[in-house]
Amino acid sequence: MDVNGVPEIVLPCLDEAEALPTVLAELPAGWPVLVVDNGSRDATAAVAAAHGARVVHEPRRGYGAAVHAGLLAARAELVAVLDGDGSLDPAVLAPLVAAVEGGADLAVGRRVPVGRGVWPWHARVGNAVIAALLRRRGVAVHDIAPVRVARRRALLDLGVADRGFGYPLELLLRAGAAGWRLHEIDVAYRPRAGGRSKVSGSVRGTVRAATAMAELLR
């Protein structure tokens, strides 16, 4: 556990310089923040450091690669992984941490759009299909863990191998197979604080992510 005894927030980021000031300002006060710069071409790392976040660099592109690098570099016993685009309300972090401290092995967020157009139809449909397939396998979730809290060592010990878009799905599959106790909490899903989505912002990005995830479900 880190010296303050509080969770550490891991933000995997790729070109999020525009969104980061808003994201970092909304995070719980006093919680250490680790920004994983996944090969950004903008000032993501500089903006993060200027706002007090610790920065590590993961040059190998991929959401899973960035998250894994963050877990390796984190110093706290409990870690919270959150997207760095501002689309997820950080107010959910405290309830997620409380769920893990109360006995859950993994606490995850379930996105609830705050308005029309926030969640493009192609991304929402793809997510719903994947979540339904997970429930058929006994993993009782309705979203693919866009924000999650768990114990750092336990996450690493799961041995999630995917370093791309499939990381969240493989994590849930492995957690289910390991008999982990999951707890799901609604989280407000908002427009990005800045920049453009690398996945759900286009049909092409959604198809790429869905294809990667489909391989894991075979």
14-38 pLDDT per residue, tens:
999 999 999 999 999 999 999 999 9
Domain assignment present for 2: no
57 token code pair:
């660099």
Q: What is the CATH number of the domain that holds 176?
A: 3.90.550.10
Domain-located, residue 206: yes
- Supply the Cα-derived Rg of the chain in whole angstroms: 16
Range with the poorest average pLDDT among 4-13, 37-46, 55-64, 180-189: 4-13
Residue 132 lies in a domain: yes
Label residues 83-94 b or e (16+ Cβ within 10 Å = b).
Answer: bbbbbbbbebbe
> Are 199 and 126 spatial neighbours (Cβ–Cβ below 8 Å)?
no
d(CA 84, CA 13): 6
* 207 in a structural domain: yes
Report the C-alpha gap between 172 and 193 in whole angstroms: 27
Is 84 inside a domain boundary?
yes
* pTM of the complete model beyond 0.85: yes
Q: What angle do CA 134, 189, 144 make, to 5 degrees?
A: 15
Domain that holds residue 190: 8-216
C-alpha dist (Å) from residue 193 to 11, 20, 24: 14, 8, 11
State which H helix or E strand residue 78 sits in.
Answer: strand 78-81
Residue 3 lies in a domain: no
* Tens digit of each residue's pLDDT (9 = 90 or more) over 92-118: 999 999 999 999 999 999 999 998 878
In a domain, 97, yes or no: yes
Number of domains in the chain: 1
pLDDT of residue 3: 39
